Amino acid sequence: MQAYTARAHTNIALLKYWGKANEQLIIPTTSSISLTLDEFYTDTTVVFDQHLNEDAVFLNDAPLTGKGYKKITDFLDIVRQLAGISTKAHVQSTNHVPTAAGLASSASAFSALAGAASKAAGLDLSLADLSRLARRGSGSASRSIYGGFVEWERGTDDTTSVAHPLQEVVDWDIQLLTVIINDQPKKVDSRGGMQHALQTSPFYQNWVDATNAATVDMKTAIENHDFQKIGSLAEQNALQMHATNMTATPPFTYLTDNSWAVIQLAAQLRSKGIEVYATMDAGPNVKLISHISDYHEIVLALQSVLPDVETVAATPGPGLVVVAGDEI
Ligand code: DP6
């Protein structure tokens, strides 16, 4: 059978997905809004091969085993079921996401896998169907099907819980600067973290209500290229999400002293007229939403607080691309 290769870029949530209404289908409790990034992506090649007795999965040239392997084979089972085949697959995936940057690689990984595996299985899915499929692997992957600003509508079932683009081509000045914080706290993955917050934080429903309200305002802000509004809504939503973790039983947090130092620096820079806002996901790294033109000033300010700090800059990126063959 024909091999197909897909490239999908990762995305950063400006309004977060943090909790599932349906764990099996990955239906979230709120809609979320993201920006797809140009710098970080996954390339994945899939071929279904009659000679295989089981799926063979390679990540960055090493065979994948354990929990990671199981997630991929479960996902391939969904694709096989849709295509009406039982053939096993060979999957080769390369992540171009600096591991230390802590940017969710599951978003680009399952988006690329949805694109390559569905084509290789003989399916010809629409972008909306690819988004639904990618969602089954990892919720945030539903958004990486599209470029630019994307909304994943919460929906209520497999059909209605799907992403759509809000602004595919972002031709105005916005960048995302990932500040790599090296003091790693105890690891709680996003899947476990969000479930724990949903089940035990008394503030969880407040977070849902606040995110619903912010969704309307964020869409207007994106339409108007209103940088300040986008940044302030994103920072507020991220802090609210992290508040659900800090108020869970038992409480936990992804943020370290250095994360807070960067969040505070963003506030100080704003008081000096530099527009910069912080957002954080399931790890200690802080992502700064800023203007490209302020890059040097922000890096200098960061170095004065955290002398050895590393940063990775990214701008808006494109949606999923799938080609026949094993080269992209
Ligand atoms: C904090 O999409 O990784 O990055 O659906 O369980 O695989 P699963 O979770 P995942 O969660 C991402 C959480 C987040 C916020 C976001 O990207 O919206």
For 132, residues 6+ apart whose C-beta sits below 8 A from its C-beta are: 142, 158, 159, 161, 162
Q: Which of 177, 175, 178 is nearest to 291 (CA)?
A: 175
Quote the ligand 1 centre to 271 CA distance (angstroms). 31
Q: Give pLDDT, residue 97.
A: 81
Per-residue pLDDT of the chain (328 residues; tens, 9 = 90+): 899 999 999 999 999 999 999 999 999 999 999 999 998 999 999 999 999 999 999 999 999 999 999 999 999 999 999 999 999 999 999 999 876 566 668 999 999 999 999 999 999 999 999 999 999 999 999 999 999 999 999 999 999 999 999 999 999 999 999 999 876 765 788 999 999 999 999 999 999 999 999 999 999 999 999 999 999 999 999 999 999 999 999 999 999 999 999 999 999 999 999 999 999 999 999 999 999 999 999 999 999 999 989 999 999 999 999 999 877 6
Q: Give pLDDT, residue 102.
A: 63
The vertex-200 CA angle with 155 and 143, nearest 5°, equals: 30
Question: Does the domain at residues 4-169 carry the CATH identifier 3.30.230.10?
Answer: yes
What atom in ligand 1 is closest to the CA of residue 139? 5
- Residue 281 Cβ < 6 Å to ligand 1: yes
- Residue 109 Cβ < 6 Å to ligand 1: no
**Residue with CA closest to ligand 1 atom 14:** 281
Q: Where are the domains of the chain?
A: 4-169, 175-314
Quote the ligand 1 centre to 191 CA distance (angstroms). 7
- Residue 140 Cβ < 6 Å to ligand 1: yes
**24: Cα within 13 Å, side-chain hemisphere:** 2
Burial class (CB in 10 A: 0-12, 13-18, 19+), 234: buried
What atom in ligand 1 is closest to the CA of residue 191? 6
- Residue 142 Cβ < 6 Å to ligand 1: no
For a substitution probing ligand 1, which of 26, 176, 190 has the most ligand atoms within 8 Å of its CB? 190
Question: Does the domain at residues 175-314 carry the CATH identifier 3.30.70.890?
Answer: yes
What atom in ligand 1 is closest to the CA of residue 16? 18
- Residue 106 Cβ < 6 Å to ligand 1: yes
- Residue 139 Cβ < 6 Å to ligand 1: yes
For a substitution probing ligand 1, which of 17, 31, 151, 178 has the most ligand atoms within 8 Å of its CB? 17
Quote the ligand 1 centre to 138 CA distance (angstroms). 7
| CA distance linking residue 89 with residue 81, whole number of Å | 13
For residue 124, CA distances in Å to 79, 115, 127, 250 come to 12, 9, 10, 46
Q: Kindly report the pTM of this predicted structure.
A: 0.97
- Residue 16 Cβ < 6 Å to ligand 1: yes
For 248, residues 6+ apart whose C-beta sits below 8 A from its C-beta are: 196, 197, 200, 201
